[in-house]
Structure 1
Amino acid sequence: MGVDLIVPMKPPRSGKSRLRGALGGPAADDEHAGLVRALAADTLRAATAAAGVRRVLVVATDPAALGELRDLGVEVIGEDGERGLNGALRHGERHLRAGDPAGVVGALQADLPALRADELAAALTEAAGHRAFTADRHGTGTTLLLAAPGQPLDPRFGPGSALAHTDSGALALRLPAPSLRGDVDTPGDLEHARLLGLGERTAALVETCCVPR
């Protein structure tokens, strides 16, 4: 059974605030938005290439700012007024389940620029139809959450989400999958992702800008 993934995104100019200024330069606002879009584009390119992924849905606060992502074979919709990351995910889940109530729905963070399609596919295989998640490399956050077929996703993203998802009964996946666990919130995270091997869009920005080494 294929998995339908929801990828939530804030407006590129205001999202990822702890990364602001990571690339420097005189047009910091434009460069920041470009970095956020690049992180998402590399994440989505890997997600759509992963075996076992059937559909990728971006739920965006500002869909007009992300029109280019549709060229990657994903669907982009707006939020429905429900606040916060978990609200966006619940909206995406309702959208997907309207077409397939018995399907497997998942949530994937949009800041995995080193993501490898084979590592995402391996996580889907390990989950084997259970409600499951992968923690980030620090062990506190969540980069991927999967529902059981036809069952609620029940997202609990936010500070300490790995523990929150464990407490809610989700299975913590054990595969190493460094690229799947390598979300980017800070310049240090971006450097870690660079060492793993960035996707094309993010690598192009990093190569031409000043990033801490």
Structure 2
Amino acid sequence: MSTHERPVAPAGSIGWSLVVPVKPAAVGKSRLAPFAGGHRADLARAMAIDTITAALASPRVVELLAITPDPEFADVLARLGAVAVTDEPAAGLNAALLHGARLSRSRRPDGAVAAMLADLPALRPNELTTALDAASAWPTSFVPDAAGVGTTLYCAAPGVDFAPRFGGPSRRAHLDAGAVELTPVPITSVRRDVDTGADLHQARDLGVGPRTRAALAAMARRGDPVAETGTS
């Protein structure tokens, strides 16, 4: 199997196009600055790489569109097997996701489309597969974040309007829009987003990917308290 050859989905399962927005590392994960200091950009890149690598390992993900305005990081993500897409029209998160979904459906008109955040460094491919399989039963559905306030994954079945409402209390926004919440399934790693030092500690306890693990090790060698103890 070549580096970029996609896993084959089992017969009867739905294949998904996954749209993942990735902010420039220089501005991404700003709430980690008090904990990661000068390592924040490296940590943001590492988390995005681990998230996308894990997502690409799910047999349900038939293509992954990484939306980023950073051309250098776009090249990195393309080497992982993602389709790197310029952030258009540069009008915020939901606009970027809609742009990615339109591109996806121009390539796969009858395809299912999902949007997932890039800050899930403990993501397990099998848990993403479980979430996407659960989503296939509903027109639109979503996975709430670990705090139960935001959203980490939003899914629209084939032929269904893709209308994400990320940002702020997006769990409530998605519920109000009629999307089904996918919480009964065991998908802890799909919910464990990272915005703060405490989140990072919890993700590390779940088991982060190799790039995030290496970034944390580099922080620990420099005496960073979060990397060593998980607390601020």
Shorter-chain TM-score range: over 0.9
Residue 7 of structure 1 pairs with residue 20 of structure 2 = yes
Q: Secondary structure at the match of 2:143?
A: strand
2:192 to 172, 175, 182: 182
Structure 2 residues without counterparts, runs of 5 or longer:
1-13
> Take 2:16 and 2:175, find their aligned partners in 1: how far apart are those partners?
21
- How big is the shift at 1:63? 3.0
Q: 1:36 — aligned with what?
A: 44
Tell me, yes or no, if structure 1 residue 63 matches structure 2 residue 76: no
Unaligned runs of 5+ in 1: none
State which of 64, 71, 85 in structure 1 corresponds to 2:93: 85
SS in 1 for 2:107: coil
Q: How many residues align?
A: 208
| Compared CA separation, residues 128 and 75, structure 1 to 2 (3 A) | same
C-alpha displacement of 1:118: 0.4
TM-score, L = length of structure 2: 0.86
C-alpha distance in structure 1 between counterparts of 2:225 and 2:58, whole Å: 29
Identity score, percent: 45
Q: SS of the residue aligned with 1:56?
A: strand
State the Cα deviation string for residues 61-94 of structure 1 (Å, max 9, x = none): 2233332111211011112224000000000011
Alignment match, 2:207:
197
1:161 equivalent in structure 2: 170
Q: Write the letter of the residue equivalent to 1:169.
A: G
> CA 1:176/1:11 → structure 2, altered by over 3 Å: closer, same or farther?
same
Q: SS where residue 185 of structure 1 aligns?
A: coil
CA distance in 2, matches of 1:195, 1:134: 20
Bigger Cα displacement from structure 2, 198-207 vs 127-136: 127-136
Matched, 1:19 2:32: yes
Matches within 5 A, 1:144-159: 144-159=153-168
Tell me how far 1:109 sits from its aligned partner: 0.3
TM-score, normalised by the number of residues in structure 1: 0.94
